[in-house]
Amino acid sequence: MLSTGIVTATTSQVLLKGQVSFAARLQWWRRRRGLSQLELAGRAEISQRHLSFLELGRASPSRQMVLRLADALDVPLRQHNALLLAAGFAPTWRESGLDAPELAQIASAVDRMLTKQEPFPAVAVDRNWRLLKANGAAVRLVEFLVGPIAPGTPINLADALVAPDVLRPHLQNWPEVVRYFIRSVEADAAADGSDETGALLERLLAYKGVAAALKGPPSDSASGPVLPMHFRKGKTALSLFTTIATLGTPQDVTAQELRVESFFPLDEETAKVLRGWATKGNARARRR
């Protein structure tokens, strides 16, 4: 059920580790994008001969040439920097923490999105699904399913979804959901070519039950407009679907890799449960 992107993403981990030359990186990205030398040369508005010399290491690129080729290859900002470093130049794109002053307006916008999503869950994650922020509804959902989590505990939502002992016991259509999710991570690994995303993909594929889920036939539940997540714990059933928002014009690595995932009820019964949890939570907060 998996495409050949998995093999290529794994290969990229070997290729892009360590002090790999600019020429090797350039050639890898061109092939990763399925372009001939002539096609890439046309996109970058350079001669095919010059591109060939760059890929062979017979010519050294200028800083502007590296950026031009990276743009032509639609390389993520993180890999823009990797190409620049490999060519002997300082990185162009900064990578700021979400709490950095330069990202204050971005962080404020994320907080607003999370707050406005109440009483329904929403989370902000990075490219590799590490949790950055969560609204109260997301905390209530997780605590209902798996119990309280100590403040400051690092959480990776990809591992939480795919691993056998976190969300899986409560996710009734786990094989269908994980099959779709693994394919999305596979696409990320193929697109960004980073060691970290490739390692995440390998880690998820190694979890027990994943291989069988990927080989399974499509379920009738996948015939609707979206693939829902059907949770059940005790007598409580929740059906949710999600949307993912990204920044449209990022100029920072962190900003480009930021995602806000919002969860919406698929039926009124789920909406009532989530609203009820919010009402109880607000009542407890007022008593304090």
Tokens linked to 186: 């596979």
Distance CA 117, CA 276 (A): 15
Average pLDDT, the chain: 89
Q: With helix as H, strand as E and coil as C, how does 145-179 read?
A: HHCCCCCCCCCEHHHHHHCCCCCHHHECCHHHHHH
Residue 10 pLDDT more than 60? no
Q: Is omega for the bond preceding 119 within 30 degrees of 0, making it cis?
A: yes
DSSP SS3 for 122: strand
Q: What domains are defined for the chain?
A: 5-86 (1.10.260.40), 101-173+228-287 (3.30.450)
Sole residue written with tokens 């290491």 = 57
Query: What global pTM score does this model have?
Result: 0.84
User: What's the pLDDT tens digit per position in 60-99?
Assistant: 999 999 999 999 999 999 999 999 999 999 999 999 999 9
| pLDDT (average), residues 220-230 | 77
pLDDT at 4: 29
pLDDT at 192: 87
| Strand ranges of the sheet holding 131-134, from the earlier edge strand across to the other edge | 131-134, 122-125, 259-265, 236-245, 229-233
Asked whether the beta carbons of 171 and 163 are under 8 A apart, the reply is no
